[in-house]
Amino acid sequence: MSELTRILHVEDEADIREIANMALELIGGFQVAQAELGTVALEIIEDFKPELILIDVQMPGLTGPETLEAIRKLPGYETIPAIFMTAKVGESEKDSLIGPLELGLIAKPFDPTSLSTQIRELWAQGLANAA
């Protein structure tokens, strides 16, 4: 992993997508592609080529974990890092979600002014842990 520039954000709630997009692009300077469903993420991932997946846990159809599992079956995305976003942040949920490729979990509601910083910190920790 190197400097993070491209994030695929998967979130079913339009207002959260809009706020996150502004926070990530305007404040964070990231290139962002967004998908409202896991199936849409699978359709656009090849064209966008993200370095990180920022993904909601609970979504209709494919859940966040199910979407991530499908993404990691695609050639070239087997080890793509991810950060989960969820309103439910109990220890049991965190323990069941976070594996070796998940960099962490961001609680919703999130602070738009610090979202990019949180993501960069989790990315840096992932780099340190991979070294």
Domain of residue 65: give its range: 6-124
**What would the pLDDT profile of 64-75 be if each residue is shown by its tens digit?**
999 999 999 999
Tell whether 116 is covered by a domain. Answer: yes
Check residue 17 and give its pLDDT: 97
Name the pLDDT band for 22 (thresholds 50, 70, 90). Answer: very high
Tell whether 58 is covered by a domain. Answer: yes
Mean pLDDT for 69-92 is 88
Name the pLDDT band for 119 (thresholds 50, 70, 90). Answer: very high
Number of domains in the chain: 1
Number of H helices, E strands in the chain: 5, 5
Res. 87: pLDDT tops 60: yes
Tell whether 1 is covered by a domain. Answer: no
72-81, 97-106, 107-116, 118-127: least confident range:
97-106
Structure-derived torsion over alpha carbons of residues 101, 54, 35, 38, reported in degrees to the nearest 10? 40
Tell whether 110 is covered by a domain. Answer: yes
Tell whether 26 is covered by a domain. Answer: yes
Tell whether 55 is covered by a domain. Answer: yes
Name the pLDDT band for 128 (thresholds 50, 70, 90). Answer: confident
Backbone dihedral angles phi then psi of residue 54, each to the nearest 5 degrees: -105, 115
> Do residues 59 and 67 make contact, with C-beta atoms less than 8 angstroms apart?
yes
Looking up residue 79, the CATH number of its domain turns out to be 3.40.50.2300
**CA separation, residue 42 to residues 1, 21, 86, 108 (Å):** 22, 19, 20, 24
Name the pLDDT band for 91 (thresholds 50, 70, 90). Answer: low
Tell whether 64 is covered by a domain. Answer: yes
Tell whether 67 is covered by a domain. Answer: yes
